[in-house]
Structure 1
Amino acid sequence: MTIHNAAMGRSGGYFQMQKRLILLKVLCTKLIVVLLSLPVDAREILLTKNDMVQIQPGVWAASGVEVPKPDEELPIVGAQNTEDGVRLLRVFKGQGDINGFTGVLYDNRDRGHSSLSPNLYPNLSHLKYSSDLAANGLDFGLAGRVIFPAVVLGNSSTAMTGGAAPRSLPRLAMTSAFWRAATTALYANNHIYVYPEHRDYDAEDRFPVNWPYMIISQGSSFSDQPFLNAVALTLAALPRDTFEYLSEKRLIAPTIQMILRRNLKTVSTRADYLSGKAHPPAFDSRLIRTGRMVAQAANLRPEDTPPLVRLRVIDEDFSAAAGLAKLDERLLDTPAAIGRLWRGFAWKRELLITAEDTSAPNERPLTFEWRLLRGDPQRVWIEPQGADGRTARIRIAWHDPWTELVAHGKSFSERRVSRVDIGVFADNGVHDSAPAMISIDFPEHQVRRYTKGKDGEKRLLSIDYDASGRDAYFDPVLFWSAAWTDKARYDESGTLSGWERHHSDSGITDFVSHDPNDRTTQYEIGNGDRHIPTLRHVAE
């Protein structure tokens, strides 16, 4: 405040000045009180290379990072936080010993583009990266190169927008061997990240698998914000002993996934939870019921914790060298997600999968549910085995692409789909677990025709590979296009002997042997690990 000298020349100027100084002192005291009552910037934790230990090429453990204890003088949520569930969280805070944000770290990975406001959660520690780490991109895009000794909530509203194979961060993670492994490790170490589906789940579902390893938001930039708030409030509502138990058992991420899915607006019953309603590849933020998530978290006891389902393939006829290009069909083999690409020519395929490696963290007896989440129930057969259903034989017949109706308020649109999803759940008598998932992705860009053979079983008649000629989308990281159509030729025993190949450009038809030892014809496929990501903020 500037006090002008003109006041001194007036009658009684000295006393007027004293009054003003007293008033100023009172105002300043009130101002200090008001400022102290306002939310302050969240605490920041600076990560430097000295805090990290390399545990494998390209991956570090941030063993030197410590999350400070909450400041009890600060509110659990900021005064301006009006998210659903905030008032309920304050009630739980007043009634009992909830965890709050003890041991929780927030990791924004789009350099502030879509970041949680520090004033929303004053006691939530925000991670910052040193300039040299940021220069190497450790702060940007997909998480997984750094593992933290804390419960981590993070996000990145970015996507690969350039190059030969643009894609969202979730699809990048699904189609790269490095990122598949890194993302799986995050889930097993109490890390929860939210990424937009940016153009990969709109008119067409372009994800090759459905998995619980991240939360994928429907939309682009800022579509992740409602999920960040919902998860933040849910983490804070967990009782302290439950939070510590989940952290120690590394079950934070699957438990949050269960709570999110169980409390969607489309999920009212257990039957709903065990159906595709609760397990889309990407979530519409309009379906979040944060208040219900907070309530379920606050009432979760350690002894009721649902387990993490661990899957393993015992036997299958998906192979390491299938189709014309002899490429691997086994995209993903992890405890909570198995992914297969249908490259072979058969009408029907089979897998034998077990969940026998699943253990209850609280020694409760478990039973298992195997449910078709997406696909034609007339073409998928699931046969659980044993009294508790820990193992199942799964048979799948070929699926042509189909469409699903997508609700937009009172209007609808269509989404093209070409993937079968099966969910596996463990029931401990109190809660069903988060899903483990089995996905079979079909090459939707191919036009296949099957017919009945002499034995009555269906067999391949022809494949049109010319996706480029038909202007049909395909993922060049996983699949390929060629300017021809193959008609299968079988010998008298019904064995595939070769192909009558009709070339789209020349109109010439010739014969190509199906001899597996014939290497005269070469086929190539794009390799996702060769693509250098061009990440951009995705506001559209």
Structure 2
Amino acid sequence: MRFGFVALCLMVCLLPLRLAAEEVVLARSALVEGAFGTYLAMGLKLPPQDETLPLVGDRGLRSGGQVLRHLAGQQTVNGFEGVLYDNRDRGHSTLPKDLFPRLTRLSYSDQLRKAGADYGLAGKILLPAVVFGNSSTSVTSGPAQRSLPRLAMTSADGPAQSARLYENNHLYVYPEHRDHDEADRYPANWPYMLISQGSSGSDQPFLAALAMTLAAFPPDTFAALRDNRLMAPTLQMILRRSYAPVRSREAYLSGIAHPVVFEGDALRPGRMMGEAAAMRPDTIPPMVRLRVEEDGFGEAEGLARLSERLFDTEGAIARIWRNFGWSREMTVSAAGTRDPNGRKLTFTWALLQGDPARVWIEPLDPDGSRARIRVAWHDPKTVITRDRTGYHNRSQSRVEIGVFASNGVNDSAPAFVTVFFPDHQNRTYATSGAGGMRLVSIDYDAMGRGVYYDPLLFWSAPWTDRADYDGSGALKGWTRIGHDGNTRTLPPEVGEGVYQIERLQPDRPYLIMP
């Protein structure tokens, strides 16, 4: 009997032990083509989480996992049931398996990998799960090098795809990689993804924090967030409210909590898990949904007659300043926002970034659901930032307005209205005789001055245009001062079909040609 018992023990000990959840493989046959060029992974099935595996591995304890273990011992938490991790850089910066052994990971079939469906910016595939993921990649060659978030903001379908992910419980993390160092090059701010300060690997603290926060939700709260498709907005709210500099509601409703790029060192995963564990289904916050009612930004503005409307999505509206005027106005509504539990909502419109003397926000309804926004021209501004390596100067050229909905218990994640200024142009404005401000001149020669500009959004030309006004203050024409020494006079309607635009070429930037 004793020999048999010992032999049995040896056999059990020699069996292979599972150290982590199995991956699920996405095959092309599981995809169904949907609207707007997207694919729905209808045939993908997630296994139930294996509760014989630890929720947090020993290595995960060093990332704050001891808080999650404590919470799981005090109350029922969702764990990783229904959660899927999607790494999109082929293991270059992947969340280690031994951090969270129960977490199910996505892999792609050879056919999809050959097609590049597993790599880079997410957006074309919607997965039937709560998804978080990352890609430590960027566009590193050609004249339009950029991080993946800036690629999403400046490509034709990027904003709509990013918004669809956000509204379907997907949240991805991407590094800013050179787009937020000496200069903030992002043309907008939005809630659709998280952008980490730094390059490859800077996304890792965010992935760990998101994983533990997802695991900390009570099962009924997790289900309510999933079914109402509010998981990504709620994760954004929790991360921002728990961010190290944010110590009050007042701070949450300010720019401190909502930078376009986040520092990994300022994450507080313990706070995030506490927020998640305390949330109940009847207190989950809504997602703010915006709509432009009146728009003073045009479709054919400035010398090149280009659109100023970068994108319009429900969670973010972005404009580019091309017009010659001193101020612009628009009316925006958040009245389409609904609380998932039918609670009455009130709205806050907050200037997050920009000169308070040059931005005016006028609520138009008692609950604040609509507002008139007027923005005056902003020159580039240099701000002093601090990170673990010290103090740094960073130029920025963007006005940001955050819109928040409160259901009386929780404030929502922000929606954004942003205006991006062409900081590569040297513009001069002066007081007119009538007391207002008017344009004096624009130096377009960014290339000649060696100043960076985004070739997908802007252009350069070797001249300065000076505005000429008559005695009544009306524009009567332009004096073009060429940087070759030539000067000529142009009519006031210059730009209306007089010029052709040479599009981005492989060997040169975007350039306006006479």
TM-score (norm: length of structure 1) = 0.90
1:480·1:525 contact (CA, 8 Å) conserved in 2? no
Matched position secondary structure for 1:499:
strand
Matched with 2:325 is 346
Q: List per-residue Cα deviations over 1:19-78 (Å, max 9, x = no partner).
A: xx9999699468548x74xx6133111111110011146421101111111112111111
Q: Which has the higher contact order (CA 8 A, sep 6+)?
A: 1
The alpha-carbon distance between structure 1 residues 516 and 468, as it changes in their structure 2 partners (threshold 3 A), is closer
What is the CA distance between 1:384 and its match in structure 2?
1.2
Matched with 1:288 is 267
The alpha-carbon distance between structure 1 residues 341 and 55, as it changes in their structure 2 partners (threshold 3 A), is same
2:48·2:81 contact (CA, 8 Å) conserved in 1? yes
Q: Distance in 2 between matches of 1:120 and 1:408?
A: 26
Matched with 1:232 is 211
Q: Distance in 2 between matches of 1:106 and 1:387?
A: 43
Matched with 2:364 is 385
Matched with 1:522 is 500
Which amino acid in the other structure matches residue 508 of structure 1?
A: N
2:309·2:318 contact (CA, 8 Å) conserved in 1? yes
Tell me if 1:171 matches 2:141.
no
Tell me if 1:250 matches 2:229.
yes
The alpha-carbon distance between structure 1 residues 326 and 421, as it changes in their structure 2 partners (threshold 3 A), is same
Matched with 2:469 is 490
Which amino acid in the other structure matches residue 118 of structure 2?
A: D
Matched with 1:363 is 342
Which amino acid in the other structure matches residue 373 of structure 2?
A: I
Q: Distance in 2 between matches of 1:230 and 1:73?
A: 23
Q: List per-residue Cα deviations over 1:402-461 (Å, max 9, x = no partner).
A: 111111348311100000111010111111100001110000000000111221110000
1:200·1:206 contact (CA, 8 Å) conserved in 2? yes
Tell me if 1:319 matches 2:298.
yes
The 5-angstrom pairing of residues 412-491 of structure 1 reads: 412-491=391-470
Which amino acid in the other structure matches residue 511 of structure 1?
A: T
Quick one: which of 163, 169, 173 aligns to 1:190?
169
TM-score (norm: length of structure 2) = 0.95
- Measured on the aligned residues, the alpha-carbon RMSD in Å equals 2.1
Tell me if 1:200 matches 2:179.
yes
What is the CA distance between 1:518 and its match in structure 2?
4.8
2:240·2:252 contact (CA, 8 Å) conserved in 1? yes
Matched with 1:509 is 487
Q: Distance in 1 between matches of 2:24 and 2:179?
A: 34
Q: Distance in 2 between matches of 1:520 and 1:447?
A: 23
Single out whichever of 279-288 and 23-32 deviates more from structure 2. Answer: 23-32
Quick one: which of 140, 147, 150 aligns to 1:161?
140
Quick one: which of 150, 171, 182 aligns to 2:129?
150
Structure 2 gap segments, 5+ residues each: 510-514
The alpha-carbon distance between structure 1 residues 462 and 119, as it changes in their structure 2 partners (threshold 3 A), is same
Which amino acid in the other structure matches residue 504 of structure 2?
A: G
2:304·2:499 contact (CA, 8 Å) conserved in 1? no
The alpha-carbon distance between structure 1 residues 400 and 68, as it changes in their structure 2 partners (threshold 3 A), is same
Quick one: which of 36, 59, 62 aligns to 2:41?
62
Would you say how many aligned residue pairs link Structure 1 and Structure 2?
Answer: 506
Matched with 1:299 is 278
Structure 1 gap segments, 5+ residues each: 1-20, 532-540
Quick one: which of 246, 254, 262 aligns to 1:275?
254
Matched position secondary structure for 1:351:
strand
Q: List per-residue Cα deviations over 1:452-503 (Å, max 9, x = no partner).
A: 1221110000000000000011000000000000001123443323210011
What is the CA distance between 1:325 and its match in structure 2?
0.7
Tell me if 1:136 matches 2:115.
yes
Matched position secondary structure for 2:60:
coil
The alpha-carbon distance between structure 1 residues 499 and 313, as it changes in their structure 2 partners (threshold 3 A), is same
1:307·1:360 contact (CA, 8 Å) conserved in 2? yes
Identity %: 52
